Amino acid sequence: QFLFVVTFTTFLLCCVDYDVLFANRPLNHSQAPDRSKVTLPDAVLPAAQCAQRIRASGWIIFLLVMAAAFWLYRLVKVLCSLLGFWEIRSFYIRALDIPAEELCNYSWQEVQARLIALQRRQQMCVHKRELTELDIYHRILRFKNYMVAMVNKSLLPVRFQLPLLGPVVFLTQGLKYNLELLLFWGPGSLFQNKWSLRPQCKRAGARRELARRLARTMVLLGVANLLLCPCVLVWQLLYAFFSYAEVIKREPGSLGARRWSLYGRHYLRHFNELNHELQARLSRGYKPATKYMNSFTSPLLTVLAKNVGFFAGSILAVLIVLTVYDEDVLTVQHILTAITLLGLLVTLARSFIPDEHTVWCPEQLLQRVLAHVHYMPDHWPGNASRAETRGEMAQLFQYKAVFILEELLSPILTPLILIFALPARALDIVDFFRNFTVEVVGVGDICSFAQLDVRNHGNPQWLSAGQTEASLYQQAENGKTELSLMRFALAHPRWQPPRPSELFLSRLQQRVQRDAATA
Contact 463, 504 (CB under 8 A): yes
Q: Which of 25-39, 280-294, 481-495 has the lowest mean pLDDT?
A: 25-39
Query: What would you measure as the largest C-alpha separation in the chain, in angstroms?
Result: 94
Is 286's pLDDT higher than 90? yes
Which of 56, 71, 100 is a domain's end point? 56
Same domain, 167 and 265: yes
Contact 486, 507 (CB under 8 A): no
Same domain, 259 and 139: yes
Q: Which of 127-131, 179-183, 370-374 has the lowest mean pLDDT?
A: 127-131
Percentage of residues of the chain with pLDDT beyond 90: 67
- On whether residue 62 sits in a domain, the answer given is no
Residue-wise DSSP of 354-409: PPTT----HHHHHHHHHHHH----TT-TT-TTSHHHHHHHHHHEEEHHHHHHHHHH
Overall number of domains in the chain = 4
d(CA 400, CA 256): 6
pLDDT in tens, 52-109: 999 998 989 998 999 999 999 999 999 999 999 999 999 999 999 999 999 999 999 9
Same domain, 229 and 142: yes
Nearest to 394 by CA among 248, 302, 289: 289
Which of 431, 451, 482 is a domain's end point? 431
Same domain, 230 and 321: no
Start-to-end CA span in the chain (Å): 57
Nearest to 398 by CA among 248, 252, 257: 257
pLDDT in tens, 398-440: 999 899 999 999 999 999 999 999 999 999 999 999 999 999 9
- On whether residue 231 sits in a domain, the answer given is yes
Nearest to 42 by CA among 27, 55, 52: 27
Same domain, 390 and 262: no
- On whether residue 117 sits in a domain, the answer given is no
Percentage of residues of the chain with pLDDT beyond 70: 97
Which of 21, 38, 56 is a domain's end point? 56
Same domain, 238 and 132: yes
Same domain, 264 and 137: yes
Contact 152, 479 (CB under 8 A): no
Task: Give the angle subtended at the CA of 194 by the CAs of 191 and 196, to the nearest 5°.
Answer: 50
Same domain, 143 and 20: no
Same domain, 194 and 338: no
- On whether residue 82 sits in a domain, the answer given is no
- On whether residue 169 sits in a domain, the answer given is yes
Contact 357, 294 (CB under 8 A): no
d(CA 313, CA 315): 6
pLDDT in tens, 114-145: 999 999 998 888 788 889 999 999 999 999 99
d(CA 388, CA 362): 13
Contact 316, 342 (CB under 8 A): yes
- On whether residue 453 sits in a domain, the answer given is yes
Same domain, 279 and 248: no
Same domain, 390 and 325: yes
Contact 379, 315 (CB under 8 A): no
Same domain, 233 and 131: yes
- On whether residue 101 sits in a domain, the answer given is no
Contact 172, 403 (CB under 8 A): no
Domain extent for 241: 125-270+402-431
| 268 confidence band (pLDDT: 50, 70, 90) | very high
| Model confidence, pTM | 0.89
Backbone angles phi, psi at 169, to 5 degrees: -115, 130
- On whether residue 441 sits in a domain, the answer given is yes
Segment holding 438, helix H or strand E? strand 437-440
